[in-house]
């Protein structure tokens, strides 16, 4: 164990089950000795996330539906009280959340409804802005003069994205457009929060079979094709996505902000492959 996150506290949003990328990230953070706080969206997921948290030895489990401003604010308030009691600050936030209507991930993109487009943007892109605004003050608390904490503490915010943001990936559709907005949000947030020593990055993961990903039509074909085409000739392992998240949360990543880091067995460099 290298203990890269010793003394750090991380908030991880988006653990649904053992297959979630956020679960792999939580495991890796705990392996590196971070204190981890998980969230769940609603009562439907509460028990599952609490059980996973107990098994992982996560410090706390809190509710947060990211489409509800009041819940995002309440999450920040609960964290503020807890951290203050512990004499700690928040060091890292992992945003591993996305949603689109199933029909928008199977029919042609041109058929996307106004409401389906807005929903995907709200949950999958805007929520990063809301979460960053609520949690940044916990990473760089204001000093006694009310100035936000440039170079006092700082921290690392990261989100999960996919290649469909910049390339057309069949059936990814409305989620690709939401990921494009998410990646642009990463850059604007990095510019805003950089003076407080808060870094904001995205990890672009290769396709992995998770509950959300199963909503994409022909996901299995995408995963099989990817393994044949990627330079490393295999699919992405959630554990390698998680290790990149550890790097970004740790002091090793201190100079990296506003980036999209691809952890996809090299898939993103490929144009057209003639042989397997
Ligand atoms: P996942 O396990 O299904 O995780 C998605 C999470 O988003 C779930 O915990 C879900 O909670 C949560 N969520 C959805 N709407 C929410 C809301 N309104 N408030 C709070 N939480 C909400 O799937 P995943 O693949 O690990 O996805 C995590 C992230 O990785 C997503 O951003 C996804 O786009 C990205 N990503 C995935 C892949 C892949 O191939 N799997 C590749 C690249 C990037 P509920 O279960 O309660 O709905």
**247 within some domain:** yes
**3 within some domain:** no
**274 within some domain:** no
Domain count, the chain: 1
**271 within some domain:** no
DSSP string, 15-44: --STTSHHHHHHHHHHHTT-EEEEEESSHH
Q: What mean pLDDT is predicted for residues 118-131?
A: 98
Q: What is the pLDDT of residue 142?
A: 60
Domain residues for 26? 9-265
Q: CA torsion 237→239→244→247, rounded to 10°?
A: -160
Q: What is the pLDDT of residues 43-83, one digit of tens each?
A: 999 999 999 999 999 999 999 999 999 999 999 999 999 99
The number of the ligand 1 atom at minimal distance from the alpha carbon of 17 is 2
Pocket of ligand 1 (CB under 6 A): 14-16, 19-22, 41, 45, 64-67, 96-99, 123, 160-162, 205, 207-208, 210-213
Q: What mean pLDDT is predicted for residues 269-275?
A: 84
Mutate to test the pocket of ligand 1, among 98, 104, 165, 218 (most ligand atoms within 8 A of CB): 98
Q: Please answer whether residues 246 and 183 qualify as being in contact, where contact means their C-beta atoms are separated by less than 8 angstroms.
A: no
Q: For all residues of the chain together, what is the average pLDDT?
A: 94
**272 within some domain:** no
**273 within some domain:** no
Q: What is the pLDDT of residue 146?
A: 54
**176 within some domain:** yes
**173 within some domain:** yes
- Ligand 1 centre to CA of 276 (Å) is 31
Instruction: Give 272's pLDDT tier (boundaries 50, 70, 90).
Output: confident
Q: What is the pLDDT of residue 273?
A: 77
Pick from 208, 166, 201: nearest CA to 187: 201
Q: What is the pLDDT of residues 141-182, one digit of tens each?
A: 665 555 554 445 799 999 999 999 999 999 999 999 999 999
Q: Whose CA is nearest to atom 47 of ligand 1?
A: 41
Q: What is the pLDDT of residues 79-107, one digit of tens each?
A: 999 999 989 999 999 999 999 999 999 99
Q: What is the pLDDT of residue 2?
A: 80
C-alpha of 161 from chain center: 8
Pick from 59, 55, 24: nearest CA to 39: 59
Q: What mean pLDDT is predicted for residues 113-134?
A: 98
CATH number at residue 137: 3.40.50.720
């Amino acid at each position: 164990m290298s203990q890269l996150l010793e003394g750090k506290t991380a908030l991880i949003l988006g653990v649904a089950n053992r297959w979630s990328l956020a679960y792999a990230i939580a495991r890796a953070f705990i392996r590196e000795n971070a204190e981890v706080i998980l969230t769940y969206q609603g009562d439907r997921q509460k028990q599952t996330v609490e059980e996973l948290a107990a098994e992982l030895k996560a410090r706390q489990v809190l509710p947060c539906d990211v489409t509800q401003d009041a819940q995002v604010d309440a999450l920040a308030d609960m964290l503020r009280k807890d951290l203050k009691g512990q004499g700690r600050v928040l060091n890292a936030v992992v945003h591993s959340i996305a949603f689109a209507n199933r029909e928008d991930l199977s029919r042609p993109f041109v058929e996307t409804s106004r409401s389906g487009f807005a929903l995907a943007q709200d949950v999958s892109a805007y929520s990063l802005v809301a979460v960053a605004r609520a949690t940044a003050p916990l990473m760089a608390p204001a000093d006694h003069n009310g100035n936000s904490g440039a170079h006092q503490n700082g921290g690392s915010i990261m989100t999960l994205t996919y290649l469909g943001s910049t390339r057309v990936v069949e059936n990814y559709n409305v989620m690709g457009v939401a990921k494009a907005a998410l990646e642009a949000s990463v850059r604007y947030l990095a510019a805003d929060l950089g003076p407080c020593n808060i870094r904001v990055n995205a990890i672009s993961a290769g396709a992995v079979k998770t509950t959300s990903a199963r909503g994409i039509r022909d996901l299995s074909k995408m995963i099989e094709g990817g393994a044949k085409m990627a330079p490393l000739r295999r699919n992405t392992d959630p554990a390698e996505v998680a290790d990149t998240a550890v790097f970004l949360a740790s002091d090793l990543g201190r100079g990296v902000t506003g980036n999209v880091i691809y952890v996809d067995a090299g898939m993103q460099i490929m144009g057209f492959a003639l042989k397997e």
